[in-house]
Amino acid sequence: MSDDDKPARGDRDSHFAKLRRAHRDAKRGGPPPRRKPAPVAGDMPDDGLVRLYGLHTVREALANPARRCERLLATRNALSRLDIVDETALPCPVEIVEPKAIDRITGSDAVHQGALLEARPLEPKPLDALGDTRLVLVLDQVTDPHNV
C-alpha cells in the first residue's frame, strides 16, 4: 500500500481521536476527584480549661495526679484503646460521642483519635523551684505541645 492509498488524516479525525481518548480515560478513572472540604476551626474554651486530645496525650493526662480533669469525651473505640474498663474509676465524667462531635470542638484539622479531655491547666512552677538542676530545656514556637 503506497502513501497515496492511505486516507488523509484531517483535523477532524484527530479531534475525534482526542474525544475518544478522553472518554476512555474518564471511564477507566471513575468519577472526578472530589475536593476536600475547607477545614473547620474549633472553638476555644472560655472557662479557663485546656483541651487535650489524642490517645497518648489523654492517657498521660489521666495518669498525672497533678492534673484536675473535668470531662472526657471519647468514642467507644478510643475508650477501648485507652484500656478504660470502668468509667467510674476515672477522675471525671465520661461522655461517649461520635468522632464528629469532637471534630466540632477541636476543629477538623486536629488528629484527636477519638479522645478529648477537658482539664484545668497545670500550675506553673517558679524558676527558683529548679534548684540545682543542671539541664533546662527551653522550647520556642512549638506547634504541637501535646507530646512534649
DSSP class per residue in 13-57: HHHHHHHHHHHHHHHHH-SPPPPPPPPPBPPPPSSS-EEEESHHH
Q: Is 63 helix (H, G, I), strand (E, B) or coil?
A: helix
Write out the E strands in 78-142.
Answer: 94-96, 115-119
- As for how many domains the chain has, the answer is 1
CA gap 79, 74 in Å, rounded:
6
pLDDT of 79-118, one tens digit each?
Answer: 989 988 788 888 899 999 999 999 988 887 788 899 999 9
What pLDDT is attached to residue 107?
A: 83
Residues in the chain with pLDDT values less than 70: 1-13, 30-34, 37-40, 146-148
pTM of the predicted protein model: 0.64
CATH assignment of the domain containing 75: 3.30.1330.30
What pLDDT is attached to residue 61?
A: 93
Q: Is residue 136 in a domain?
A: no
Q: Is residue 59 in a domain?
A: yes
